[in-house]
Chains A and B, each alone.
Chain A
């Protein structure tokens, strides 16, 4: 270290504190990933172990117990139908995560494929990207609501609607990576040694898309969680009997004055998971995209 410092010129020496700060900042971002990861793992655990954690049957209506404030039997009170708020929030994690994973997986497959095709085959580029533009001409939630209106309240349809909303953005990212790679020498070299298009896409282009894909998917996951809750809140999401944080919040809206506790836990659960997923996404982006590390 001292040896290197000796060879540095004066302006470089003045720059030193900056590198020191960026090292600290990098550590801070790793903390983002760790914190986000812990919350995500905790959510997955809660969703998987829901029957063990929940204190009551989330679906059981006990009308005489309705709108109880938090007590020893019902830690976070009961809702308008006498269902236990805590147990419903625990089971709600299943829907949130299920939709999040379902949307991420389908967008990852379909969006990547579309992006690779549009980026690699010039003739497909314009038609595919125009259709994507058309889909992006809707505000996301409006497109999702419209699809739900047509398809009806089912969990599969929620996944379908939110996937359709998120696919164009991922396709665009993949396409732009492929476009910039297409003209590079190693792709040209692959061409000239006789690689087929399939081979080039699979073993040269796809691996280079991995880091932007990881970053995008973590944000798409977060958006899917918010999207599911928003649709359920609007009554255009999963069927009413499935415990969902969004529909719980919509129910609590009506009884806000008498039973404010019904809105606390579902809101905290939703906000915390979205916050964790955003942290994870921010952290991954900083880690995997060096161009952004300086900020």
Chain B
């Protein structure tokens, strides 16, 4: 296991290098001069050259690349142009809502998706199964932001149970903070719970067709225990992978959810930075999100091989 872990860690390095290179290239695909784009047309030539120097654009390209790599290796993501602070501290200030949102949304999607899939598989072909899977297919087709707007309309505007938008930090008290997070968490979590339900159902059906399940039934075991003990246990590894993929994909969805609910998270920071053409912030945010994404995928792989030794030795 240690050997496999080390090998997977080593394999992550080239991927991270590619990610860093792609983010570096981002500034090079800006049409024209990035400094000119940032400052707009009415900036003086002097100011433009100064910004070019600050962004390191005056150096030869290979040197820029080496500088960029060595800077991010030291954890320095540069200086924001509009916020007057280093990109890393801007990110740290906004990490809490994003983290909380992703965590709660994962919880929502597992708490809804897993039981739904199991129930649908247990009563396969019944009206319940057809209804649940119908809802799941519909649910997977509803874009996050429209789902969010509908939830706001029903639960915040009409029923008044939750605030329409905004955020209270955890320091103001758990409940106060959660009140603002419940609708965003459901918005983000529901679509992936539909996916999880479909995968869980099909994995369970695979296992329920196995010989040992027939044996378990033949020896007179109650169907409940056949499903929960024998089938779920064996279907759980691929389901766990799906859960990992879902958590990773929630990172992208969080950007959209933060926009719907005006949450001051990393996604909001990214969107604001695009509007102000604050390229260092755009680069830093994208880099950090991609790095976390790669790490989550690495963890899924490790967990998978830990649970299923066949993967390690293949």
Contact = CB atoms under 8 A, between A and B. Distances in A.
Interface of A: 21, 130-131, 133-135, 137-143, 145-152, 226, 229-230, 233-236, 246, 249-250, 252-253, 256-257, 260, 263, 267, 270-271, 274-275, 278-279, 282, 295
Nearest to B11: A133
B27 interface: yes
10 contacts: A21-B125, A139-B290, A145-B274, A145-B286, A149-B273, A150-B279, A151-B31, A263-B149, A271-B146, A278-B140
B185 interface: no
Nearest to B270: A145
A210 B31 CA distance: 36
B69 to A, nearest CB: 14
B143 interface: yes
B260 to A, nearest CB: 7
Contacts, number: 140
Interface stretch (B17-25, B110-118, B228-236): B17-25
B149 A149 contact: no
Main secondary structure of the interface of B (DSSP, over half): helix
Given A141-B256, A295-B202, A150 B30 contact: yes
B144 to A, nearest CB: 8
B26 interface: yes
A278 B19 contact: no
A179 to B, nearest CB: 17
B18 A140 contact: no
Contact of B252 (A131, A140, A233): A140
B107 interface: no
Contacts of B157: 256-257, 260
Given A234-B255, A263-B149, A138 B286 contact: yes
Contacts of B141: 271, 274-275, 278
Interface string B6-21: 0000000011101101
Contacts of B140: 278
A278 B143 CA distance: 13
Contacts of B216: none
Contacts of B18: 130-131, 133-134, 137
Contacts of A148: 274
A143 B138 CA distance: 26
Given A137-B15, A235-B274, 20 more contacts: A21-B125, A134-B21, A135-B22, A139-B248, A139-B289, A139-B293, A142-B286, A149-B26, A150-B282, A230-B144, A233-B256, A234-B256, A250-B145, A260-B157, A263-B149, A267-B150, A270-B146, A271-B143, A274-B142, A274-B143
B128 to A, nearest CB: 17
Nearest to A131: B18
A249 B149 contact: yes
A98 B144 CA distance: 22
Interface in B125-159: 125, 137-138, 140-146, 149-150, 152-153, 157
Contacts of B259: 233-234, 250
A280 B270 CA distance: 34
Nearest to B275: A235
Given A236-B274, A263-B153, A270 B22 contact: no
Q: Which of B27, B37, B152 has the most CB of A within 10 A?
A: B152
B308 to A, nearest CB: 22
A78 B253 CA distance: 29
Given A145-B255, A260-B153, A150 B29 contact: yes
Contacts of B143: 226, 229-230, 267, 270-271, 274
Contacts of B274: 145, 148-149, 235-236
B271 interface: yes
Interface in B260-311: 260, 270-271, 273-275, 277, 279, 282, 286, 289-290, 293-294, 297
Contact of A252 (B149, B164, B286): B149
A274 to B, nearest CB: 5
Contacts of B188: none
A15 to B, nearest CB: 12
B213 interface: no
A278 B137 contact: yes
Nearest to A141: B252
A137 B146 contact: no
B205 interface: yes
B67 interface: no
Of the listed residues A253, A260, A295, the one surrounded by the most CB atoms of chain B closer than 10 A to its CB is A253
A252 B260 CA distance: 11
The 4 closest A-B pairs by CB, nearest first: A134-B18, A139-B252, A275-B141, A267-B146
